[in-house]
Amino acid sequence: MTALAEYQRHIRDLLKNRTVGEPDDPHLKAVARSPELLLLRDIAVWWRELAVNGQCTWTTRLLRQYGTFHSVVESFYCEVKVSSYMERAGEQFLDWLSSHEDPVIASLAQFERAVSKVRQGDPGEYRISWDRNPDDLLACLKSGSPPPPPDPEWRYLVCMLPLRFKILVLFFFVTRKSCRDIRLPIE
């Protein structure tokens, strides 16, 4: 590995806040302590926020309501090799959030990603499980009101099927006690 490549990797790690401890190199120590590094990191995160905001409307609204949008995008920037293309960065963000620890964030990211894929011509079928009524959640996000709480008695399964010029979305309401694989009644 060349010295330039190693230097660039160290600068990237400083920008993405990935370094453990203080660097040995005096120049890298000075960079790590400089206020300009924080400014560059803020600018990089801001660009990712711009991309995510433009590509992931519903998920952005939910994260803003939770007050976690900036911190989540910052974590995304630091953990993922984010594309410089806005459309791809949005896809990466939704893919990354699809396994989020908060089930409503994960479900909404999966739903938004599935809609995006189907709109792009993906012939796949998508099933997204929800802990609350997705209709109610989307209505709340659209109006700006707080999201509904989880429904402990019900699981909601959304199935998305691409049709010729439309997306068919089917909702199934299944009690947690009898939640099992559901076959679609469409031939």
> For the residues of 44-55, what is the DSSP string, one character each?
HHHHHHHHHHHH
Picking from 1, 30, 28, the residue whose alpha carbon sits closest to that of residue 13 is: 28
131 neighbors 151 (Cβ within 8 angstroms): yes
End-to-end C-alpha distance for the chain, whole angstroms: 57
Of 19, 20, 79, which is closest to residue 45 (Cα–Cα)? 79
Identify the pLDDT of residue 180.
Answer: 46
What pLDDT shows up at residue 184?
39
Cβ atoms of residues 61 and 109 within 8 Å: no
Helix (H, G, I), strand (E, B) or coil at 114: helix
Give the gyration radius of the chain's Cα atoms: 21
Block means of pLDDT (10 residues each) for the chain, length 187 residues?
78 80 78 87 91 94 96 94 91 96 96 90 88 92 94 85 66 54 39
Cα(82)–Cα(64) distance, integer angstroms: 21
pLDDT value of residue 14: 84
- Cα–Cα dist 64/59, whole Å: 9
- CA distances (Å), 70 to each of 13, 44, 53, in order? 20, 12, 11
Q: Tell me the whole-structure pTM to 2 decimals.
A: 0.81
Ordered alpha helix ranges (H), the chain: 3-15, 26-33, 35-55, 57-66, 69-79, 86-97, 103-119, 134-143
- How many of the other CB atoms lie within 10 Å of CB of 90? 24
Tokens of 144: 């700006």
* Tokens encoding 43: 């600018």
